[in-house]
Amino acid sequence: MIDTHAHLESTHYNIDREAVIKRSFDNGVEKIINIGTSLQGSYESIDLANSYKNIFASVGIFPEEQKKIDNDFKKKFEDLARMKKVVAIGECGLDYVIFKKEKTFEHQKELFRFQLEIAQKLNLPVIIHGRDSYSDIFEIVKSFTFSERSGVIHCYLENWETAQKFLDLGFNISFTGAITYKKKEEVSEVIKKMPLDRMMVETDCPYLTPQVFRGQRNEPMYVKYVIEKIAEIRNLSFEEVEKATNENAIKLFEI
């Protein structure tokens, strides 16, 4: 299994980070992509990736996590993105739910465009976060030309029409433990209809713990519950979904 989206640098793991990582690898997780959400978090992600052979880093700034988009920030970001073991840019994107009080979303858009430019320049895939913002994300993303490795729409919970638009642009779609929660008919339809060779799985840990352990902290080995749910919806075996999602992650991130 490959957890394509973890936040193990988070303070939630300060007391037992090593143990969490060890039991992930002991329980069938083969590789983990650790995701930056700020300059500091991206730096910590790279640090973690340098300590473990099968952890890789993504460098990214979450919407509104960087107030000043000046040359100093841009240089720091690009320097980080060029470091060893960095396999993607993100998570980046637009969040109109958490930041709905902001007067305008222009700042988020500028930060997002900048990260897409770096992804294009360094030929890295992008990991995109969106909430109530997919039509703007689509408009921005389609103005860029990516090579084959465009990226992934992470933690997908929207409808099939939106999914199709991003699939057409060459994006993969990734699912978290949130698909195990109740009333997820829309996303079930996406899981049923989308091509298996474009699907990935993730935990987004420490968040979005699958239903069985909901309320507790999430961790990479629980990615198996995401695979299990997809297998159930698609009427496939666990192994078939595991194999496909592994292959898709290896291909996208070149890991």
Interface residues with Zn ion (CB under 5 A) are 204
The CB-of-33 to Zn ion minimum distance in angstroms stands at 10
Contacts of 97 (CB under 8 A, 6+ apart): 131, 132
Residues in the chain: 255
**Closest by CA position to 118, among listed 69, 173, 171, 59:** 59
- Taking the least distance from each CB to Zn ion, the nearer of 155 and 227 is 155
Euclidean distance between CA atoms 156 and 150, whole angstroms: 16
Query: Is the separation of the CB atoms in 131 and 91 below 8 Å?
Result: no
Element (H, E) at 227: helix 223-234
The CB-of-49 to Zn ion minimum distance in angstroms stands at 16
**Closest by CA position to 139, among listed 105, 172, 180:** 105
Q: Which residue is nearest to Zn ion (CB)?
A: 204
- Taking the least distance from each CB to Zn ion, the nearer of 218 and 246 is 218
- Taking the least distance from each CB to Zn ion, the nearer of 166 and 234 is 166
The CB-of-5 to Zn ion minimum distance in angstroms stands at 6
- Taking the least distance from each CB to Zn ion, the nearer of 204 and 242 is 204
State the CB neighbour count (10 A cutoff) for residue 57.
Answer: 28
The CB-of-182 to Zn ion minimum distance in angstroms stands at 22
- Taking the least distance from each CB to Zn ion, the nearer of 44 and 204 is 204
- Taking the least distance from each CB to Zn ion, the nearer of 36 and 244 is 36
The CB-of-7 to Zn ion minimum distance in angstroms stands at 6
The CB-of-152 to Zn ion minimum distance in angstroms stands at 12
Q: What are phi and psi of 234, to 5 degrees?
A: -85, -10
Tell me whether strands 151-153 and 126-131 are parallel, antiparallel or unpaired: parallel
